[in-house]
Chain A
């Protein structure tokens, strides 16, 4: 399969729209409320509402459910629990979604055992939402409470090597040299323990599903909040024994996901169960506290030892991580590997372990693993730079690597050095006084400047798309991908418009319906790359058909010209060698007499490139903080985030992605933490008032720089993706800036007031 189209030997044409800051086409619908989210769709008949009942205990067994009391309330239709759920798929694999980790997936309403607090234990279905919520609140359930442990430290002795099994998980790199000896011999060294606690994704839109029951023999429409309709489709189809056609999932808009919607959440199971059993349209929406019942960024404790020689060259690196997982699944992240990818060290060793506690399985959350590892290694690198008497930026450049030391492969492209240089210039790093506690602002606040780097995978997944060019010249391209706010709609529209040389107004991109060609879940920063390449492939296939049709026209000026030798621009196909030899696409369509021209396209990883190259995006983050030392308050007053992520398809939406990433990183650095009460086995700040994420007043100036890379190895369209990379390094850069401001090194996130007292 050819993924590359010969670049026309001309300058970029006006119709070159990839790389331009085009606004999202769905923007007006979103701000006017016309864009419908899963829990907003109307159904054909009456709609019933399901409300989930959550377990108040962390471990034990349900002994009795007093469903009759609730069923006696007029308007209550049914109470579903393990007692009356029909027998469904028996094997674990039916419950395994595309991105499930190893282990036995949680089966909602399957058995009386409670494995985590807030586990869904029943669904109450009623005529109205308010009634369902009320009935759920008075449903009495008796439990046998068992002893539990939610404390990672208590479970630490039972840690085990993180098993393989989850898509995308890369085990820790193999050891090199002799870390013990090198560490012992080195003149400069640091050792520290780095901690962050559980964090919940908390997208604005709650998880919700509306099932439109269309009547006997007709297919349901399942409107679901997800980051991947096809993943939900196969999950629902397998569990309920439906064909894929019967399990049609529609997800046009997703109000934020950040990883929480990668795996199907339990509300879709509940809604489909109720609809099938009651043969009725049903809607189930989680409440905000239930948004804390799902996966979360796992609480992780990391130990790092680093050593350098007198010049500042790294001599030894040890990075170990211990993360929580549930009793029933082994959620794995790539945590420690990034340290080895970023720096050149002759002696290194890495370890990544899990231990089981009585919580729900953790989940991927924005830059999973890398955000964790990056905070630790970039804090330690910073600390060592002071010990070695080097500027933290110089120290990083000194230990820069042009090949990936963990796999001994060249990078497909890597312009992190330019990120450092351009970011430093924009930030004014050369004005920095290296001495901690040396800088103050006009009000006497301590000022600190910190830097940190980040690294993420540039990966491709299998994806497909379909392009349909109608007789009126309008091009509609579709793929069952997702847009959780990232800008998928606009960049795919741009890609399609450019490939066929059509004006943007003549192109529509559709997504989020399993009747469309399959695409992977939106995660891992791979959508732009994977779906973008599939869109291009589909449009090129249409283009090939168009060329053939053009060549069938009488006296075709394109007669005998190969596809590789034409360009699509301004609504025409032109011969590269002589652009006056051209045919208008409108004329081709008219002459062909076809109602439409359509084609499917595909894209996928290139296994040869994967063997030969290490493919990553990088960033360098510069942060200014101001600290009121007496009171412990920290404000992030300036951020420069310089990102090298291949080709930027749309600098406007890409910038927004990175801005969001920086805000996310500031939240991680300063305030985000799900408070786990180990007496109750439960997160206790499960609402927006007490689970703190940044508000507008916390966010000041953020500068985004894109250092573009030409890279046709990582991707046939040169794209690496920007969903994760923007947030990496931010938490470490904040902590490093706080050190520079105060001389105090904080190794536990978030950096709340109390930690600086």
Chain B
């Protein structure tokens, strides 16, 4: 590991100033991703601004009926928070579908937003990777890329955002509050992560030195009709091949409002607002769901056939959307691959 200095900031503005005062600085939250990356020698900050003492761990109700999640609240505290469980069960479910209890106990909400991709080549210094070293090429285009994306990809990068939590935050239309050298601002969740384009080294739209301070959830939490469907290679501690977070408002069998997002398929949590609109005002039916799924993947591009290559995600993604919409509509887990309950049938 490179040598680095470390400052323990006690307030957000102090942290922002500390960061700005050092070259090659990085913010350290729970450290569950950054420290790994430093050990692998993929991230080489010479200074860490530790956020552990910042008073940003609260989860508080907002006047508009929403909920503010402190950037330094842990993923575990967020998932098990009574208000989150009651009003935003979709968020709880996605957080608990990710990582392990140990990781969730350490990982912070702000850190979750900023975790790097799990693309094999990003993690392997012996492999060319435009995200890690711009201009070196993308090893995933032709190599094994089971973990990579099929939507919104570019020829320079097909990596995916690995977060589960962010898939729910996209569907919930959260707002990210940030503080930087030029003051505070908010970023709509859809605008927070970006597509790779020609600059896959940039995961998000934060400006240099900007710090996530909170995530605001709007009042609508879809607590009556929601689901998170995560398909992966084993039942826990595996990143999504495809995941779908759905929140619906229903009136009888009619869908009044629909929000959904996909994980494991793109450089960001993937939302398709046209597809959402196709659902609204319509009667829930398998046919409708299939049309919506087809729309979402209409422009998808797979990168090779077979198990190690990701073209299968297009068909899998469609089926996952159909199933997730069905589950959210009916709120009956006829089959729930996330939590396989029938241990001793």
Within 8 Å CB of B139, what residues of A?
A: 677, 679-680, 684
In the bound complex, CA of A299 to CA of B281 (Å) = 53
Residue of B nearest to A117 (CB): B126
Is A626 within 8 A of B118, CB to CB?
Answer: no
Q: How far is the CA of A752 from the CA of B345 in the complex (A)?
A: 23
Which of the candidate stretches B54-62, B70-78, B236-244 sits at the interface with the other chain? Answer: B236-244
Residue A755 lies at the interface, judged by CB distance under 8 Å to chain B: yes
The reply to whether A690 and B1 contact each other, CB–CB distance below 8 Å, is: no
Nearest residue, chain A, Cβ from B128 = A680
Chain B residues whose CB sits within 8 angstroms of the CB of A750 once the complex forms: 307
Collect the chain B residues with CB atoms within 8 Å of residue A130's CB. Answer: 1
Which chain A positions have C-beta within 8 A of B344? 700-701
CB atoms of A628 and B337 under 8 A apart: yes
Residues of B within 8 A of A445 (CB): 335
Residues in B whose Cβ lies below 8 Å from that of A630: 319, 322-323
- Are the C-beta atoms of A692 and B335 separated by less than 8 Å? no
Q: Which of A443, A624, A679, A754 contacts B334 (CB 8 A)?
A: A443
Question: Cα distance A33–B312 when bound, in Å?
Answer: 45
> Which residues of B98-155 are within 8 A (CB) of A?
118, 120-121, 123-127, 139, 142-144, 146-147
- A682 surroundings in chain B (CB, below 8 A): 124, 126-127
Q: Which residues of chain B are within 8 angstroms of A698 by Cβ–Cβ distance?
A: 234-236
- Taking CB atoms and an 8 Å cut-off, the chain B residues in 25-49 that contact chain A are 39, 41
Residues of B within 8 A of A431 (CB): none
Q: Of residues B1, B124, B237, B241, which shows the largest number of chain A Cβ atoms within 10 Å of its Cβ?
A: B124
Given A443-B342, A631-B337, A677-B144; A753-B125 close (CB under 8 Å): no
Query: Could you tell me which residues of chain A, from 66 to 82, have a CB within 8 Å of some CB in chain B?
Result: none
B residues in contact with A628, CB < 8 Å: 335, 337
Measured in the bound complex, the distance between the Cα atoms of B345 and A149 in whole Å is 48
Q: How far is the CA of A698 from the CA of B237 in the complex (A)?
A: 11
Q: How far does the alpha carbon of A692 sit from the alpha carbon of B118 in the complex, in Å?
A: 14
Whether A441 is near chain B, meaning CB under 8 Å from some CB there, is yes
A55-75 interface mask toward B, CB cutoff 8 Å, 1 = contact, 0 = none? Answer: 011000000000000000000
Chain A CB within 10 Å, residue with most, of B126, B236, B237, B323? B126
Contact A671 B234 (CB under 8 A): yes
**Assuming A626-B342, A628-B335, is B126 touching A755 (CB within 8 A)?**
no
0 or 1 for each of B226-256: is its CB under 8 Å from A? (1 = yes):
0000010111111101000000000000000
Contact A694 B234 (CB under 8 A): yes
Nearest B residue to A687, CB-CB: B123
Stretch at the interface among A248-256, A306-314, A565-573, A632-640: A632-640
User: Is A680 within 8 A of B237, CB to CB?
Assistant: no
* Contacting pair B124 A686 (CB below 8 A): yes
Contact check: which of B146, B322, B340 meets A675 at CB < 8 Å?
B146
* Shortest distance between the CB of B93 and any CB in chain A (Å): 15
Interface string of B291-329 (1 = CB under 8 A from A): 000000000000000011000100110011011000000
Q: Number of B interface residues, CB 8 Å? A: 45
Taking A630-B319, A686-B124, A701-B344 as contacts, is the C-beta distance between A675 and B144 under 8 angstroms?
yes
* Chain B stretch 328-342: residues in CB contact (< 8 A) with chain A: 334-335, 337, 340, 342
Tell me if A444 counts as interface (CB < 8 A to partner B): yes
**B239–A56 CB distance below 8 A:** no
Contact B335 A444 (CB under 8 A): yes
- Pick the contact of A680 from B126, B234, B345 — CB < 8 Å? B126
Q: Main secondary structure on chain A at its contact with chain B?
A: loop
- Nearest Cβ in chain A — how far from B144, in angstroms? 4
Smallest beta-carbon distance A60→chain B, Å = 13
Query: Which single residue of chain A is at the shortest CB-CB distance from B314?
Result: A757
The contact of A134 among B2, B319, B340, by CB within 8 Å, is: B2
Using A675-B120, A696-B236, A697-B340 as known contacts, say yes or no to A443 and B316 having CB atoms under 8 A apart: no
Q: Is the Cβ of A684 less than 8 Å from the Cβ of B233? A: no
A442–B236 Cα distance when bound, in Å, is 24
Interface residue count on the A side (C-beta < 8 Å): 55
Query: CB of A685 within 8 A of chain B?
Result: yes
Does B343 interact with chain A (Cβ within 8 Å)?
A: yes
A136 to chain B, nearest CB (A): 9
Which single member of A624, A671, A673, A685 contacts B120 (CB below 8 Å)?
Answer: A685
Closest to A752 in B: B307
Task: Chain B residues near A671: list those with CB within 8 A.
Answer: 233-234
Within 8 A of B (CB), among A444-458: 444-445
Cβ of A754: which chain B residues have Cβ within 8 Å of it?
307, 312, 316
Q: How far is the CA of A398 from the CA of B186 in the complex (A)?
A: 73
Cβ-based interface call for A137 (8 A): yes
Interface centre among B139, B337, B344 (most CB of A within 10 A): B337
Is the pair A441, B342 in contact by a Cβ cutoff of 8 Å?
yes
CB-based contact A689/B118 at 8 Å: yes
Q: Is the CB of A675 within 8 A of B337?
A: no
- Given known pairs A130-B1, A445-B335, A675-B146, the reply for A684 and B239 (CB within 8 Å) is no
One of A677, A697, A753, A757 near B236 (C-beta < 8 A): A697
Q: Which residues of the partner chain A approach B343 to less than 8 Å between Cβ atoms?
A: 637, 700-701
Residues of A within 8 A of B340 (CB): 635, 697
Residues on A with beta carbons closer than 8 Å to the beta carbon of B238: 689, 692
In the complex, what residues of A have CB within 8 A of residue B144's CB? Answer: 675-677, 684-685
**Binary CB contact string for chain A from 682 to 713 against chain B (1 if under 8 A, 0 otherwise):** 10111101101111111011000000000000
Q: Contact: B237 with A695, CB < 8 Å?
A: yes
Interface residues of A in 488-512 (CB under 8 A from B): none
Nearest residue in B to A696 (C-beta to C-beta)? B236
Asked whether A344 is an interface residue with its Cβ less than 8 Å from the other chain, the reply is no
- Contact yes or no, B237 A689, CB < 8 A: yes
Identify which of residues 195-239 in chain B touch chain A, using a CB-to-CB cut-off of 8 Å: 231, 233-239
How far is A221 from B142 in the complex, measured between Cα atoms in Å?
48
**Chain A positions within 8 Å of B312 at CB level:** 753-754, 757
Q: Please, how many angstroms separate the alpha-carbon atoms of A694 and B142 in the complex?
A: 28
- Which residues of chain A from 651 to 681 have a CB within 8 Å of any chain B CB? 670-671, 673, 675-680
Measured between beta carbons, the chain B residues less than 8 angstroms from A720 are: none
A134 in contact with B342 given A56-B126, A680-B143 (CB within 8 Å): no
Q: Closest CB-CB distance, A119 to chain B, in whole Å?
A: 12
Q: Are B345 and A690 in contact (CB under 8 A)?
A: no
Q: Is A283 an interface residue (CB 8 A)?
A: no
A133 interface residue per 8 A CB criterion: yes
Q: Which residue of A lies closest to B120 (CB)?
A: A684
Quote the shortest CB–CB distance from B205 to chain A (angstroms). Answer: 27
* A757 and B233 in contact, given A137-B41, A631-B337, A680-B143 (Cβ under 8 angstroms): no
Say whether, besides A695-B237, A753-B233, A684 and B127 are in contact (CB < 8 Å): yes
Looking at the assembled complex, report how far the CB atom of B336 sits from the nearest CB atom of chain A, in whole angstroms.
9
Q: Are B143 and A692 in contact (CB under 8 A)?
A: no
Q: How far is the CA of A678 from the CA of B233 in the complex (A)?
A: 22
Which residues of A are found within 8 Å of B337, using beta-carbon distances?
628, 631, 633
Chain A residue numbers with a CB within 8 Å of B307 are: 673, 748, 750, 752, 754-755
Provide the residues of chain A in CB contact with B124, threshold 8 Å. Answer: 289, 682, 684, 686
Q: Select one of A289, A678, A697, A757 contacting B235, CB under 8 A.
A: A697
Q: Is the CB of B1 within 8 A of A134?
A: yes
Against B, the Cβ 8 Å flags (1 = close, 0 = not) of A528-548 are: 000000000000000000000
Chain B contacts for A133, CB-based, 8 A? 1, 39
What's the Cα separation between A454 and B312 when bound, in Å?
A: 33
Give min CB distance, B234 to chain A, whole Å. Answer: 5
Cβ of B62 to closest chain A Cβ, rounded Å:
35
A187 to B337, CA, bound (A): 42
Residues of chain A within 8 A of B143, CB atoms compared: 677-680, 684
Query: Cβ of B233: which chain A residues have Cβ within 8 Å of it?
Result: 671, 692, 752-753
Write 26 A-B pairs (CB below 8 A) sorted by A numbering: A56-B125, A133-B1, A137-B41, A444-B334, A444-B335, A632-B316, A635-B340, A671-B234, A679-B139, A679-B143, A684-B124, A684-B139, A684-B143, A685-B144, A687-B123, A689-B239, A692-B233, A692-B238, A695-B236, A696-B236, A697-B234, A697-B340, A698-B234, A753-B231, A754-B312, A757-B312
Of all A-B residue pairs in the complex, the 7 with the closest CB atoms, nearest first, are A56-B126, A697-B235, A754-B312, A684-B120, A677-B143, A675-B144, A137-B41
